[in-house]
Amino acid sequence: MSLFGIDHHAAISAISERAAGFSKGPVRMRSVSVAIGLLGLSLCGPARALETVKVTDGIYAFVGEKTQRSPLNLGNNATFGLVVTTGGALLIDPGGSWKGAAALHAAIRKVTDQPVRYVVNTGGQDHRWLGNGYWHKQGAVIIAATTAIADQQARGSLQLSMLHQLLGGELAGTEPRYAEIAFERSHTFQLGSVVVEVRHVGPAHTPGDSFVWLPSKGVVFTGDVVYVERVLGVIDVSRTKSWLAAFEAIAALQPTYVVPGHGAPTRLDRAQADTYDYLVNLRGRMRAHIDAGADIIGAPNVDQTQFAYLEQFAALARRNAQAVFAEMEFE
């Protein structure tokens, strides 16, 4: 079995391959080899539908389900990140509910005893911020772009109503809590020996989407700027033109490791194929559709079939097309 074109060592030959490099299934600790690419190794037991992945020294991803929010996943249907330093830990995104944050904390405790000092909210989707209350109680300082905070405030009530329907009693304890540190375009700080850069380029999946860059590690945590393995979602607050610009800002960093907002840790080429190329194709075909005088009724029929390999394609592709038509009609 090989990942990124490289054979596994016999000791991990039982690990199954999936499209972005890691198998889907029960939660297990997995490690990533710096020398030979992203490899998975089963090390520990269940942690409420989160898969723990060691990306490189001191860097972890917690990969949630790529399906809908549910009582089982506690709203953690996304990918979260952890940076462990001698000065404490940094968490990228807090979990989608109070209980989701607690489940994330349980997974963190299996890889480090360091306390979580900072939590970055990479955007305004529920799993990017509704676990804030839990982490505030643990003493963590929360960081977010001002645009993300405004989006959270604008959509929080609707998000909680949705989660009440999807999570039921598992939503207990979840209340809005906003960042103590707000920034406009960028925020840089040091934790232990690691310099952390948080950047907001512009709207993408949501208005305040940001990414976290660790120059010394070559690691970028993209938030919802990057989806892999599953098709991205274009919603009413998405802006696909500036989404492309946000991706280009990430690509310009030439990261060694990409920890996406959804899906397993990967490389830049896979991130480009599943996110950037998808958006370029959809926008290009929608521009031709609009310029031909066609309307929104026909928008779902634009050709996206080259991306049918992505999970959730059947559920989201046509809806994405309508959303992009509405965005581009008067662009």
pLDDT digits (tens, 9 = 90+) for 41-52: 333 334 357 999
pLDDT digits (tens, 9 = 90+) for 137-147: 999 999 999 99
Distance CA 263, CA 61 (A): 10
Amino acid at 1: M
Q: pLDDT value at position 13?
A: 29
Q: pLDDT value at position 27?
A: 35
Q: pLDDT value at position 129?
A: 99
Q: pLDDT value at position 48?
A: 55
Distance CA 225, CA 275 (A): 8
Distance CA 82, CA 54 (A): 9
pTM of the predicted model as reported, rounded to 2 decimal places: 0.86
Contact 38, 32 (CB under 8 A): yes
Q: Which residues of the chain have pLDDT under 70?
A: 1-48
Assign a CATH topology to domain 2-328. Answer: Metallo-beta-lactamase; Chain A (3.60.15)
Q: pLDDT value at position 19?
A: 31
The residue ranges of every structural domain in the chain are 2-328
Length of the chain as a residue count: 331
Contact 195, 214 (CB under 8 A): yes
